[in-house]
Chains A and B, each alone.
Chain A
Amino acid sequence: MNKNLSTKKRIYTLKFIIILSIYIFVIPKATANTPLDAARLNHKAMANYITGDYKNALSLYSEALRIDRSIEDIDGIAVNLINLSIIYRKRNDYNNALKCVNEVFDHLHPEHGHTLRLSEAAIVKTLIFIDTKEYSKAWELVEKGLTFPKNNDTNTTGRLYNLKTRLLLIKNEPHMAISMGMKAMQANKQNKDDEETSNSLRLLAESKTILKEYRDAENYYKQALELDKSSNLSRKIGLDLFGLGKVASLEEKKDEAAIYFQRALAIFESHGDPEGIKYFKKTINELKVTKDSE
């Protein structure tokens, strides 16, 4: 009887140890959040963003942000906040976009080596202010973005210069825009960033068009077109062709202009780009008005 009792005690102790081990070693491991989980969610969100499923992308980035917060991954938090801000901006939800990007500025500091993320955040915030037509705030921010120590990061510098060029064009200062556009082009070329180099070239072409230096404008547009074609960026190709059409139209080369416009419209339509078509129609109308007033 006593032997039976001691065997039972041993069994109870063994069971207790097994259950305790499961609770201590197995369950927490299976349910713990890891940086890998956040990264996987971030990648899934990116795939959704690329396919245009912004709703899913938002929820996946939010979940990745939650994990990053739970493990205090500062860089991950900043990356996901910036991504969320970009998507909110795409959905025209500027309030939430600003909330997310402001949180990046609240938590990151240049002296802690967060300059890259801060520069990225400055670019996103500047774009939001350009969208909401708050140009003076945008100007301040782009200046602030350029003051962050560089870290050899020409990637964000080139984009910030491009944004400054855009703002100068909005202010109707084409001469200043050309000098800034040149700096932007140099930085982007140095960084081998073809997309941003073509943006610089297009901005230079726009400045030259305002100054009625059509031959230079045409040259810049053609260089941008070549780069965009090599990168297969259909919307940008459409914009370059449209710019070439605009220049030809201002030079009274009607047949040439018509061909460029037709090619641009075909690209916008085949790409299913409502923004491109809207921009196309708006500029065509502006061209008509300019011609009539002349």
Chain B
Amino acid sequence: MATPKTIDNKFLSIEKRGGIFVIFAIIGIVAVAFFIGLQQNMFTPKVNIYFVSNSGKNIKTGAKVVFNGFKIGKISSVNLEEAGNVKAELSINRDYIKWIKKDSVARLMKELAIGDSIIDITKGSENTKIIAENDFIAFERARWFPAMEDEINTIPITLTNSPFITDIITELKTELQGEINPVLENVKLALKNFRTLSEDALITRQYLDSMYQNADSNLNELNTLVTQLNVDIPNIIKSVNKSLDSINLMATDFRKVTINAFAEIIEVINDGATILGETEDVVDAVKQIWPISSKIRKRADIKEQIIKVDSYE
């Protein structure tokens, strides 16, 4: 006689529990994909505009597009055109396109003194029309950090041009002029008197003597001033030297801080790029999974490009 199979009560609801677990896991994956998309503004309606540059230097996919310091989009693609120019596609949030006019300019610049490149859109004229979808915007490059770095390197050389030094020199000049001008005037007067006296030499010797005394006193005054200047000028030079030293120290410290910060920022940027790359991979994989793949509009077929090598190089 066959005995009926018995099932342990513990296993009666295992399928149910397993099913719930799988459903929660799927909901979790979808939520993560959704939030990544939300963070990347993938669900915000976009408008594409373009600019063309003769070089792709520092123009990178994913770079922020800002208007008045506010992020309004990003560079969605950078492609090399047949003519050798670089065509960049800017993906702008539809809500913000109204701020971009036909005469606005896309300026490639650094967000901070050190950092990644961004595209800054300038405010166009008020009376100009709003740029249309798929239209081209003018492009220019702003000054780069490397240029600033050059300036930092030349700080000690250009110290003499700093307003601080110019102020000190101007002050010194004014002070010296204030002291020397009365003396010179006295000397001029004395010489004039002396000339008059020499013409009237025969008139009175007493008068001539008094003039000699006058010249003597002027010379004494001049001597006193020169002695005073001898004491003052070294002190002024000392203080100028001290200031120069402290400015040099400041410049060195600033350079050290800049170099350290630069290394850290590069690391952060690299981490960011890795995370972005990984996110892109995840999104790509999700895009290809049915039924999502059927809902995504396919891009036009792109072909692999060959680098055009120049016969003269």
Chain A residues packing against B (C-beta within 8 Å)? 1, 5, 8, 11-12, 15, 25-26, 29-32, 36, 38-40, 42-44, 46-47, 49-52, 64, 68, 75-76, 79-80, 82-83, 86-87, 120, 123-124, 127, 159-160, 162-163, 166, 195-196, 199, 202-203, 231-232, 236
Q: Which of B283-309 contact A (CB under 8 A)?
A: 285-286, 288-290, 293, 299, 301-307, 309
| Interface core residue of B15, B80, B286, B306 (most chain A CB under 10 Å) | B306
B41 at the interface (CB under 8 A from A): no
Given A47-B80, A199-B312, 19 additional A-B pairs, CB 8 A: A5-B5, A26-B289, A26-B290, A29-B293, A30-B286, A38-B304, A50-B55, A50-B56, A50-B57, A50-B80, A51-B57, A51-B58, A51-B60, A79-B304, A79-B305, A163-B311, A196-B311, A203-B312, A232-B54
- Chain A residues, CB < 8 A from B86: 50
A49 to B285 Cα, complex, angstroms = 27
- Chain B residues, CB < 8 A from A1: 4
A199 to B299 Cα, complex, angstroms = 37
Q: Which of B59, B293, B299, B312 contacts A202 (CB 8 A)?
A: B312
B79 at the interface (CB under 8 A from A): yes
25 contacts between A and B (CB under 8 A): A5-B5, A29-B288, A29-B289, A30-B286, A38-B304, A39-B302, A39-B303, A46-B80, A47-B61, A47-B79, A49-B307, A50-B57, A52-B57, A64-B304, A76-B304, A80-B304, A83-B306, A87-B307, A123-B311, A124-B309, A163-B311, A196-B311, A199-B311, A231-B83, A236-B312
Q: Which residue of A lies closest to B306 (CB)?
A: A79
A11 to B22 Cα, complex, angstroms = 14
- Chain A residues, CB < 8 A from B290: 25-26, 29
Contact, CB under 8 Å: A195 / B310:
yes
- Chain B residues, CB < 8 A from A52: 57
Q: Which of B78, B288, B309 contacts A47 (CB 8 A)?
A: B78
A159 to B312 Cα, complex, angstroms = 9
- Chain B residues, CB < 8 A from A44: 61
Q: Which residue of B lies closest to A239 (CB)?
A: B312
Contact, CB under 8 Å: B302 / A231:
no
Interface residues on B, range: 35 or more
B84 at the interface (CB under 8 A from A): yes
- Chain A residues, CB < 8 A from B83: 231
Q: Which of B5, B58, B84 contacts A195 (CB 8 A)?
A: B84
A120 to B305 Cα, complex, angstroms = 12
Question: Given A30-B289, A39-B302, A195-B84, is A162 in contact with B307 using a C-beta cutoff of 8 Å?
Answer: no
Closest 3 CB pairs of A and B: A50-B56, A162-B311, A42-B304
Q: Which residue of B lies closest to A78 (CB)?
A: B306
Q: Which residue of B lies closest to A232 (CB)?
A: B54
A5 to B5 Cα, complex, angstroms = 10
- Chain B residues, CB < 8 A from A162: 311-312
A269 to B290 Cα, complex, angstroms = 55
**Cβ of B11 to closest chain A Cβ, rounded Å:** 10
**Cβ of A171 to closest chain B Cβ, rounded Å:** 17
A124 to B311 Cα, complex, angstroms = 9
A255 to B59 Cα, complex, angstroms = 40
Contact, CB under 8 Å: B311 / A159:
yes
